[in-house]
Structure 1
Amino acid sequence: MDIDIKHLMELLAKQEDVFESEAQFQFDLAQLIRDNYPSYKVKLELTTATTLKNNRLKRLYTDIIVLDKDGNFIAIELKYKTKSSEYNGVKLLNHGATDLGRFDYLWDVHRLELLKKKDNTAYEFNKKLKTCVKCFAIMLTNEKNYWVVNKQSRNTLFKDFCISEKDEIIAKKPLSWYKPNNKSCVDGTWRDVSLTFNNSYNFKWNDYKYDFKYLVTEIK
């Protein structure tokens, strides 16, 4: 079981102009997978695991699940981040907060590692999903601050969460928010956590169209 993500992104760039939302990106990529891999089923926002948090059931959803007839699957998480811009009459919003955007992308990688191994006893995994064959985290953006190395970022809140091609994740090394004054904008939010990965990762940004680039991280 396999899909060629790079080829799908190339087809998507030829077929579509720009997306107005992440939901549109998700829907169109899912449809493209259906068209190119008709033997697979494609599900959106499927519950892949549940856990108890503060005595309340919490569901973990995955953006795209690709299933074969035996229940083996490929999991895909998406992020679509834009700056204020216009392409052929389509106006895009300015999402800003690239520090949070970086964290959110790496949070996807972290969650996909969890889903691929299924070895965390705090979670009950969807029994209809058998072997996780592959997982991909994808970010599509026209905001260059995600892929450009910013020397000033070395001493900022998000310094551990940078995802340029000069950055890397080292297995078992915790990533944390940099808080020299013990205060930050993530205090008291769900993002105020450290992330530790089972594997090491490098980042490779690819041209999409116009000034958009995309990043694909395949979970090991």
Structure 2
Amino acid sequence: MKDFFENSISKLKKERGIFHSEDDLKLSLGFIIKELYPELEIRLEKPININMTDIYGNKSIVRAPIDIIVYDKNGKTIPIELKYKTKKLETEFNGETYNLTNQGARDIGRYSFRKDIYRIEQYLTKEEKSDFGIIFILTNDENYINNNVGEKETFDKHFSCHQNSIIRKEYKGWNYSKIDAKKYEKKDNFWRYINQNKKHWTFTGAKTYKLELKDDYPIVWKEYSELNKSEFKFCLIKIKKHLN
């Protein structure tokens, strides 16, 4: 089981250089794992309960799915979270046409990488028969790879995941020094639209979670494929279990 994921990605690279969607990636990877390791059981989108704390200090239990959970014959599990972030690309691969959209919203994308790490850490805390988990990120959007927003006064500077960066365990949150003061005002300790009783989007929903991690995570991007002058790279993060 030690190298099962690396072996699976190696085979996936040879067979699928591109995917229509994150669901396409998820299903394809599940098939590859089962093909290489028929003794393993695969579950997609299995929901689990996760302990969350928001920026207001409110604690809650959130029901959320894990993209893939692998079960071995001894009942041990390995949780896997996937991300597939694309920019616009029209191309063919093995006679099949692909038309990828420009997803944009990279600030939320970077935040979601951290949230996936948090989710796997929480899973490992709860599951006695799980020793490690995996984050797999695949993208043809070089902004995630080359853009060091951590050196800039961007809104998402604390969530940078560029090449050779480190996602630190300390949670610093959104960089409100870059909020648009022409649109928003700070009122009752929240940023709200001026003259509206409507909070900025980072004060609502899933973007409010305080994602303190148990470890620092180095980010290394590696080559996956190149199609029609668009280069895909992947980042593989292994998350170990903490006993406290």
Q: Where on the TM-score scale, by shorter chain, does this alignment land: which range?
A: 0.7 to 0.9
1:177 aligns with 2:174: yes
Structure 2 CA distance for partners of 1:50 and 1:145, relative to 1, 3 Å: closer
**Aligned partner of 2:84 among 74, 80, 85:** 80
1:215 aligns with 2:239: no
The CA distance in 2 between the partners of 1:153 and 1:186, in whole Å, is 21
**Aligned partner of 1:90 among 98, 101, 110:** 98
Deviation for aligned residue 1:152:
7.8
1:113 aligns with 2:121: yes
For the 8 Å contact 2:149–2:156, the answer to whether it is kept is no
Which structure has the highest strand share of the two?
2
User: Which residue identity does 1:11 align to in structure 2?
Assistant: K
**Aligned length, in residue pairs:** 209
Alignment of 1:162-201 (within 5 A): 162-171=160-169, 173-180=170-177, 181=179, 183=191, 185-201=201-217
| Structure with larger Rg | 2
The CA distance in 2 between the partners of 1:133 and 1:37, in whole Å, is 19
Give the TM-score normalised by structure 2: 0.77
Alignment partner, residue 142 of structure 2:
144
Q: Name which of structure 1's ranges 17-26 and 187-196 shifts more when overlaid on structure 2.
A: 187-196
Q: Name which of structure 1's ranges 144-153 and 99-108 shifts more when overlaid on structure 2.
A: 144-153
1:10 aligns with 2:7: no
Structure 2 CA distance for partners of 1:151 and 1:169, relative to 1, 3 Å: closer
User: Which residue identity does 1:135 align to in structure 2?
Assistant: G
Q: Which runs of 5 or more residues in structure 1 are unaligned?
A: 119-128
Alignment partner, residue 47 of structure 1:
47
Alignment partner, residue 195 of structure 2:
none
Kindly, what percent of the aligned residue pairs are identical?
A: 29
Structure 2 CA distance for partners of 1:193 and 1:51, relative to 1, 3 Å: closer
